Structure 1
Amino acid sequence: MKTIYLVPHAHYDVVWAMTKEDYVNIHKKLLRQALEMIHKSDFKFIIEQTHLLEQVESDDPQLFSEIESAILDGQIEIVDGEYLMPDPMIPAEEVLVREILIGKMYCKDKFGIEVPVAWMSDGFGLNAQLPQIYKKSGYKWLAFRRGLPKSIGMRASEFQWEGIDGTRIPAHWMPLGYRAGLDLSKWDESYSKLEKLATTQNILMPCGSGGMLIQEDIPKAVENWNNSNRKARMVIATPREFFEAVQEEGEPSTVFRGELYSSELEDIFPDVVSSRISLKLAIRECEDLIKSIEKAAALAYLQGNRYPQGRLADSWRKMLFLAFHDVMPSCGIDEIYDEAWQYVSDIKKMASSFYHSAVNSLPMDQVPGIGIMVFNPHSWKITDWVEVDLRLGTGWSKEPGVYFNEKEVVSEARDIERWDDGSIQHAKLGFVATVPPLGYRIYEVRPASKQFKSKKIKIKENDVSTRFFDLRIDPDTGIIEVFDKEGSEILKGNEVVIDAELGDLYFHKSYLDQCIGSESGEGIRFGAFKPQEPRIEKGPLRTVISFTNSYHCLRWPYYLTDKFESILHRHNTLDIVKRVIVYNDIPRIDFFTELDSRQSHIRVRLRFDTCMAAPVYTRETQFGAIELPHARTMEEGVKMPSLTWLSAEDGERGLAFLSKGVPINEVRGGEIYCTLLRSVSVLSADGVSGPLIPTPGALELGKHTYYYSVYPHKGDWRSARVPREAYRFGEGLVGFQVDRLATPREYETFRLQPDNLIVSAVKKAESEEALILRFFETDGQACRAKLRTPPNIRSVSTVNLLEEEIKDENNILFRKSNLELDVRPFEIVTLKMLF
């Protein structure tokens, strides 16, 4: 006889359609109700996220004590056990690891338990490295709701999910979602659907919903089912009991490899990547800040300084709130984002104070003077552009310059502000810094002694020529064209396209079969762009092409526009400032775009033409990369979330699009679309994805700033080292002013080779005096890693993502600051170092 495992639950949204306080109070009520039912019957219940338990522990110690007893008695099971259930697709890789680490540490510290079931009941898809992340975090099984394609979901609810590195985890897809058993009167109907897809005699039937009251008649309904039903026996159970029963019948034979990001069976809401874009950009900045700060703090700790564990732990918890699956996708009510913005502000303030006090932690000789400390958060030497705000004392009559080892470094000073006596008070000073791996270099600031000029970039009218490529800007549209040195066009675009937006926080919808307007002239006839003449400024290190444009809803005349030029422009609703930056010696094109929008219910995107007939697209996923389905990209196009890079290539050359949070979220044929904003005013317009609640804060009116880059390259993304270029651009060099100069002027800690390895974290261990270093393989190619360590590292061992020691499967060899170990394709490696 088959067995139905009925799992009572209440999905916990820390925020969504109500506030944090609302949801905590609701769930405390539900937990009291569950405990009362447990005391009366064989009822069982599950809790998903430890943030809720922390809140209960703080607010109601008596209730927490009762929950603790029920957990230890096996009547309440913690599933997933993350601090908060994150969006699995958008956050940075380390953020996903910390959600698990902090949550599971809490479970072990408070209850002494392991959490074997990953329970992704409401994530909008699952990234392709989660099997490895889950297995290296101690999970044995996965239950999830969204993202499975029909190729599996139409025939099996249990299967083996294989990640891009080859790791497999037994998985259960919830065919009826987490509400399968919610309506007790429809258990027969639910059973018949679930039974057809079950691959064993065991059927999982979740019974609950988000914040839903527990039905007190569940135990009686189960009793009635068992008395009247001969098809299957029903038990009130936990997910662990279900998976253990499935495991007794053997591993599932069906295997699915890759990313679980399909809307065929359940919505994954790809348009959430562009909802509340200003918040997403700020969160991405915070991710990069906290990762870099943590690395810098760990290196200072390695030198004998106190590690700011409390401050970093507080910042990480705020970061994990920002990564929650209704915060980062930005699909909640306006009120909840006040807290999100406060957390963004707190992380930025912490970063600023940390960097400005960093020089005090250097155990070296220090002398007075103004300097610029540049920190490299990566494990290879980086040469790149750095720009620092300098606050100068009185008496600076000459422009500031940059020096290293008594030699003046080429620099550019701009935005100079002066005191009343004419001396310089403030300036932005930019230069190309070279900084050793996971280390720093200190440059001295003194009055400039030379005037530098560039001979490497040539300008003729609206054409700019560098040693890497040639650019042309159309003065009427602001659209750029890029050519290689053989004269072949390799890129066209940076074109603003305005669409109508009648959707909501989950979906883009338009009432037009065309755009409202584009810089190339498409759109409804009444409106038009009004461009200004481009300006090209050549400096000693880089050249900046500036273009200003504005969209007007009405032009006159608006008939026969091919024959008559516009004479009048009225109702200006969108101002655009673009800067395109090319460098003497850096082979990429940087873009800086500002929008000032006064128009609601529009979508603004950038369009790029790759100038390739049938490009193959590869994009970054957490700790790796995946290739997009070629047939779909060529036919209907593909919408997807993006992290820091997306590469298009045709077998001979490629274009890598690098981003600091700008969603590169649609490819169609040879065109790439980056969404700059979506202006919507309701949470859910259809009342299906959520309630129809006004969200005027999601109209995204006002000013927005975007940074992104294009890196043209020969060959494929692997040979061009695109992941490294993306990390160099995204989580790049950090420069800040210091008021003392240290000797020696540069310091190096860890150097990792070969080039297909990237360090994602360096931190103090959570529970002992040790250093944790995590890196991953980027290209899907096995290698022998070589890590040069500081001389005070005395032992190295491999640990899992929970920082627990594991059997060495990497053939570690460590001798006199030189570590070697084997790394499998797309492997995540975590090392513990004693010093």
Structure 2
Amino acid sequence: MKRKTAHIISHTHWDREWYLPYESHHLRLTNLMNELMDTLEQDGRYRYFHLDGQTIIIDDYLQMYPDGQERLAKLIEQGKIIIGPWYVLQDEFLTSSEANVRNLLIGHREAARWGPVSKLGYFPDSFGNMGQAPQMLKQAGIEAAVFGRGVKPTGFDNVVVDAPGEYESPYSEMFWESPDGSSVVGVLFANWYSNGNEIPVDAGEAVVFWDKKLADAEKYASTPELLYMNGCDHQPIQKDLGDAIDTAKSLYPDVDFVHTTFDAYLEALGEHPSDDWVTVHGELRSTRTDGWGTLVNTASARVYLKQMNQAGQTLLEKGAEPLAVIASLTAGQKYPHEPLAYAWKTLMQNHPHDSICGCGVDEIHREMVGRFDKSRHMAEALIAESLQAIGSRIGTDDIAAWPENARPAAFFNTTGWERSGVVTVDVQAVRINFKEGPSPQGIADKLDALKIGPGRVVDTEGREIPASIEDLGAQFGYDLPDDGFRVPYMARTFRLTFEARNVPALGYKLYAWVPEEAGSGADYAGGADRDRAGDAEGGAGQAREALRAEAAGFANAAQHPTHAQGDQSGSSAHIAAADRETAGNSAEMFGQAEEVVSTPHGMENRFLAVRFADDGSYSIADKTTGRIFEGLGVYDDCGDIGNEYVFRQPEGDVPLTTQGSTAAISLIEDEPYRVTYRIVHEWEIPSSAEASFEDEKRRLVPFLKRRSGRSADTVTLELTTLVSLEGSGKGVQVSVTLNNQARDHRLRVLLPTGLRTRTVLADSIFEAAEREIVPAPEWINPSNAQHQQAFVSLSDGTHGLTVANKGLNEYEVLQDGSGTIAVTLLRSVSEMGDWGVFPTPEAQCLGEHTLEYAVYPHAGNVIDSGAFAQAYQYQTPWFSQPLGRQFGPLPAEYRALSWSGEKLALSAFKQSEENGDVIVRWYNLSGENAPLEFEPKFTADTVYGSDILERRGEVVGQGAQYAAQLPVGPAKIVTFALAVPQVSNRTD
């Protein structure tokens, strides 16, 4: 057999912020960097240093030592400091698909400015790995990945242990394959990324060290190429490494000890046969461990951070970027590459695993809130600029159905699918600038005295739209002209709320407010009241009455269920055929004017019927399939004596629930476009863990050995739940507001589906990951919580239920026989956990919280039914822009791109920084081929196949009027670069 080689790779795993505040780590980082450069320049035996795969380290160093730039650049260019390919070492499951792409894209761009880019998928400390990573890496020209978790059984301290059951791979080396078939070489840090840390110089110590380390590595290596990572978390460099290697060479003449790089190690590895390597597929989530070391409960630590992250990502991906493209195409606005990169980088500074996971000390998470705000404010400013630019080009004066006093507004749908939903916009009836006098107060009085009725909302055909119109009185505002000083004003303002329908994907649609004539004397009775009066005289009123009658029938049926949970065929779980026929007749009467009605016990539209029980839970009847889902929305609360990393329920603790309790239920919104019920629970729950818990934490008792229970003292947890159904809604939207004053507990919402299935589909990175509900036998953790992005879904093949969310990243499918989906709303803990005593009182998340989710019944599964698109749209806000009466080249309805493709999701619509190409990305959620057709509604001279680094590939089409018809393979991520000369060549 070939001689063994000990490949020693020097590195430091640099958590930007963790058990110390950012600046404390920052200072230690700059000290390390200065010492590293001194050593590389002065010690010829210290040859290389792997800079942790993240380029942000360079930014952080130069922020304090800008004069070090020249030295650093020289060492990178010489290949002594290896940088890239990421911007930060992110948590892969808590950051969106596009955020993972931007991380790789910006990391490559940043690294390329300095020198060679490391082509290694570096995941040293990720809390599990995303299943589509190999495909993403391959598209970026990366052929190998190294990772610390996800394949072999490891203990909580990340040390490989002997355990019953089979390993996914018997070796450290393997192939890692994405669902689409893309494969890379995968190397597990079987003995962690510190197995070569602090190598002894002393011969006696070295013998003890190397005897163990050589045996440990050989236990898992498939070749004589043994990997040793000379570093660890925040580890200073080993300045005497050359002496330590010389000692090892003298003691073990049959082993070649080399100070090297990953490239050299992988090249040596490739010289050996790999026939007996196994292929691991998809997500690496350590399913064959005891279930504690996966650290999945970081998905529910400090939920407020996850909510801010979801909102910030969405504003950039589905707001700032697509609107900037449309503004560039339609209004000639320069695409804001630099501001967008700044916003993304600021956001991604919160994406390192210890940051976004919420598993650090309080100081770092306070600072994160500021970064989220900064990124969001930039995104909002860019969105406002784009909306203004597009709005200035939309023609409104040629819409014949609008009277002269109409006040138009454009409503933008930046998702990938046509969309309907409730929108809100503030419009100005009359505006007076401050300079017109007499004073702001005088202007306000003048405006408030004007007799302006609420009027009506109309579409471009002049049809009246049911709306609520609120007179806000005189409101302050200001303009910031590009060529002058600010212009403050007061304006008589009205707030419109109504349902916009069939707004094109990546486009907009116009509506207008027509105020009542001044002095008409019309009393404001509210838009909804007038609409109902009108409805009573026509077919729409009859349809609403038919819906009410049908809903009452559902309510009576639901009061007397005759079936057992999980066996609903042939029972009241299926609406009778006659009832479904009635529903169809009602829909015909509605025509395009879809509405929702309230009932004595709930609400109903043409798709769904909702009924509330006395305890505040609700049932949803899917009129399309006839399936009824009952007992949804019960709350569950239990103790938690774990930490930011892990949930640990006290021994013998029985969760409290709101099932069978008394809730105050009231109808608070009853409009043709939306009905909302409010449910209030006054719930007594334990105030904290027992007093002994503080002593257990102080003495660093491991979380599995803690014996504290929940306190006998209680506090009131008031839960205010708003459940809404929109006129065209195919799902129920839920908002939960609470003031948490309890400590050491976990709050979840339970959604029993009654569906019998072995697996669950959860939205993840560029896929709907299919996961086993019952984990492997090695899993002894009582909880099987997992990550989600936009949704989690169950289906028995005939019926399905999908739960969407906004920043609620943890779910569990309970093994209770009812197919219950439990979504974590809040987890309150008091310490960081891991390797020391780090109190984190702010992780108790005391105070006000608002949590949001939505429930979508459907036929089949979430992919085949298309329900995934509704879940993605649920996370995306509407954007609106009030307009003037003006001439302009843009029409009343616009879409930038027309496309079709079942089971495909549109992921990105942006512009390339390198050449100005319009970048469009889709991914196939299914395991089957899916046809894609798309046609840009703008001139694209050439369409190139591209990748996640936005590089031009093969030409797939040419011509100003290009329409593509292309197959997309199973689970494939496809990107196209559309060359638009008037965009890419614009300099003004």
TM-score (norm 2): 0.77
CA RMSD of aligned residues (A): 2.8
Whether 2:732 is the aligned partner of 1:594: answer no
SS in 2 for 1:768: coil
Q: Which amino acid aligns with 2:176?
A: W
Whether 2:20 is the aligned partner of 1:5: answer no
Does the 8 Å contact 2:82/2:117 carry over to 1? no
Does the 8 Å contact 2:147/2:187 carry over to 1? yes
Whether 2:122 is the aligned partner of 1:119: answer yes
Q: Name which of 81, 106, 112 aligns with 1:108.
A: 112
Name stretches of at least 5 consecutive residues in structure 1 with no aligned partner.
522-528, 556-568
For 2:39 and 2:840, the matched residues in 1 are separated by 38
Which residue number in structure 2 is paired with residue 193 of structure 1? 216
Q: CA deviation at 1:814?
A: 6.2
Q: CA deviation at 1:407?
A: 1.9
The change in CA–CA distance for 1:598 and 1:290 in structure 2 (over 3 A counts) is same
For 1:732 and 1:17, the matched residues in 2 are separated by 35
Q: Name which of 723, 741, 745 aligns with 2:868.
A: 723
For 2:806 and 2:304, the matched residues in 1 are separated by 12
Whether 2:238 is the aligned partner of 1:215: answer yes
Which residue number in structure 2 is paired with residue 766 of structure 1? 913
SS in 1 for 2:126: coil
The change in CA–CA distance for 1:124 and 1:369 in structure 2 (over 3 A counts) is farther
Q: Which amino acid aligns with 1:671?
A: T
Whether 2:327 is the aligned partner of 1:300: answer yes
Whether 2:176 is the aligned partner of 1:164: answer no
SS in 2 for 1:302: helix
The change in CA–CA distance for 1:122 and 1:322 in structure 2 (over 3 A counts) is same
1:30-179 aligned at under 5 Å gives the runs: 30-38=32-40, 39-43=42-46, 44-48=48-52, 49-78=54-83, 80-111=84-115, 113-150=116-153, 151-152=166-167, 155-179=170-194
Q: CA deviation at 1:738?
A: 4.5
Q: CA deviation at 1:713?
A: 0.7
Q: CA deviation at 1:442?
A: 2.3
The change in CA–CA distance for 1:614 and 1:309 in structure 2 (over 3 A counts) is closer
The change in CA–CA distance for 1:37 and 1:351 in structure 2 (over 3 A counts) is closer
Q: Name which of 265, 268, 273 aligns with 1:245.
A: 268
Q: Deviations over 1:706-751 (max 9, x none)?
A: 2211111112222201221221212253335445666522211111
Q: CA deviation at 1:380?
A: 3.1
Does the 8 Å contact 1:400/1:413 carry over to 2? no
Does the 8 Å contact 1:380/1:436 carry over to 2? yes
Does the 8 Å contact 1:578/1:591 carry over to 2? yes
The change in CA–CA distance for 1:720 and 1:349 in structure 2 (over 3 A counts) is same
Q: Name which of 740, 754, 766 aligns with 2:901.
A: 754
SS in 1 for 2:93: coil
How many matched pairs?
Answer: 804
Does the 8 Å contact 1:373/1:442 carry over to 2? yes
For 1:726 and 1:392, the matched residues in 2 are separated by 36
Q: Deviations over 1:141-179 (max 9, x none)?
A: 111101224444661100000011110010100011111
Q: Deviations over 1:273-299 (max 9, x none)?
A: 111111211110111111121111012
SS in 2 for 1:607: strand
Which residue number in structure 1 is paired with residue 703 of structure 2? none
Whether 2:755 is the aligned partner of 1:609: answer no
Q: Name which of 465, 483, 494 aligns with 2:621.
A: 483
SS in 1 for 2:664: coil
Higher strand share: 1
Q: CA deviation at 1:465?
A: 4.0
Q: Name which of 517, 528, 533 aligns with 2:656.
A: 517
Q: Name which of 655, 675, 681 aligns with 1:543.
A: 675
SS in 2 for 1:11: coil
For 2:183 and 2:630, the matched residues in 1 are separated by 40
Does the 8 Å contact 1:664/1:672 carry over to 2? no
Q: CA deviation at 1:369?
A: 5.9
The change in CA–CA distance for 1:492 and 1:814 in structure 2 (over 3 A counts) is farther
Whether 2:430 is the aligned partner of 1:404: answer no
Does the 8 Å contact 1:152/1:256 carry over to 2? no
For 1:132 and 1:388, the matched residues in 2 are separated by 42
Which residue number in structure 2 is paired with residue 627 of structure 1? 770
Does the 8 Å contact 1:6/1:235 carry over to 2? yes
Does the 8 Å contact 1:801/1:830 carry over to 2? yes
Q: Name which of 620, 637, 656 aligns with 2:802.
A: 656
1:344-355 aligned at under 5 Å gives the runs: 344-355=372-383
Q: Which amino acid aligns with 1:35?
A: M
Which residue number in structure 1 is paired with residue 789 of structure 2? 643
The change in CA–CA distance for 1:502 and 1:473 in structure 2 (over 3 A counts) is same
For 2:653 and 2:802, the matched residues in 1 are separated by 28
The change in CA–CA distance for 1:380 and 1:554 in structure 2 (over 3 A counts) is closer
Does the 8 Å contact 2:790/2:804 carry over to 1? yes
Name stretches of at least 5 consecutive residues in structure 2 with no aligned partner.
154-165, 200-204, 398-404, 431-446, 476-490, 517-526, 536-540, 552-597, 688-711, 981-988
Pick which of 646-655 and 746-755 moved more: 746-755
Which residue number in structure 1 is paired with residue 17 of structure 2? 15
For 1:694 and 1:308, the matched residues in 2 are separated by 42
Q: Name which of 268, 290, 293 aligns with 2:316.
A: 290
Q: Which amino acid aligns with 2:453?
A: K
For 1:355 and 1:158, the matched residues in 2 are separated by 47
For 1:677 and 1:21, the matched residues in 2 are separated by 29
SS in 1 for 2:227: strand
Q: CA deviation at 1:300?
A: 1.3
The change in CA–CA distance for 1:465 and 1:834 in structure 2 (over 3 A counts) is closer
Does the 8 Å contact 1:157/1:174 carry over to 2? yes
Q: CA deviation at 1:359?
A: 4.1
Does the 8 Å contact 2:420/2:728 carry over to 1? no
For 1:596 and 1:414, the matched residues in 2 are separated by 31
The change in CA–CA distance for 1:243 and 1:772 in structure 2 (over 3 A counts) is same
Q: Deviations over 1:583-609 (max 9, x none)?
A: 333221111111111222221111111
Does the 8 Å contact 1:637/1:667 carry over to 2? no
Q: Which amino acid aligns with 2:179?
A: I
Whether 2:384 is the aligned partner of 1:356: answer yes
Q: CA deviation at 1:771?
A: 1.8
Does the 8 Å contact 1:15/1:327 carry over to 2? yes
For 1:518 and 1:745, the matched residues in 2 are separated by 51
Does the 8 Å contact 2:750/2:821 carry over to 1? yes
Q: CA deviation at 1:446?
A: 2.2
For 1:505 and 1:791, the matched residues in 2 are separated by 49
Give the greater-gyration-radius structure (CA). 2
Does the 8 Å contact 2:773/2:813 carry over to 1? no
- Percent identity over the alignment? 23
Q: CA deviation at 1:778?
A: 1.9
For 2:426 and 2:364, the matched residues in 1 are separated by 33
Which residue number in structure 1 is paired with residue 577 of structure 2? none
Does the 8 Å contact 1:56/1:64 carry over to 2? no
Q: Deviations over 1:777-810 (max 9, x none)?
A: 22222133211112411111112221222346xx
SS in 2 for 1:606: strand
Q: Which amino acid aligns with 1:220?
A: D
Does the 8 Å contact 1:149/1:262 carry over to 2? yes
Q: Deviations over 1:241-264 (max 9, x none)?
A: 111111122446310111001165
Q: Deviations over 1:414-451 (max 9, x none)?
A: 7764569xx98553513233211211112212238851
Pick which of 733-742 and 533-542 moved more: 733-742
For 2:44 and 2:211, the matched residues in 1 are separated by 23
Does the 8 Å contact 2:388/2:881 carry over to 1? no
Q: Which amino acid aligns with 1:269?
A: L
SS in 1 for 2:23: helix
SS in 2 for 1:662: coil
TM-score (norm 1): 0.90
For 2:776 and 2:804, the matched residues in 1 are separated by 19
For 1:725 and 1:487, the matched residues in 2 are separated by 20
Q: Which amino acid aligns with 1:126?
A: N
Does the 8 Å contact 1:605/1:675 carry over to 2? yes
Does the 8 Å contact 1:386/1:433 carry over to 2? no
Q: Deviations over 1:747-776 (max 9, x none)?
A: 111112112222211222112232222221
Q: CA deviation at 1:543?
A: 2.0
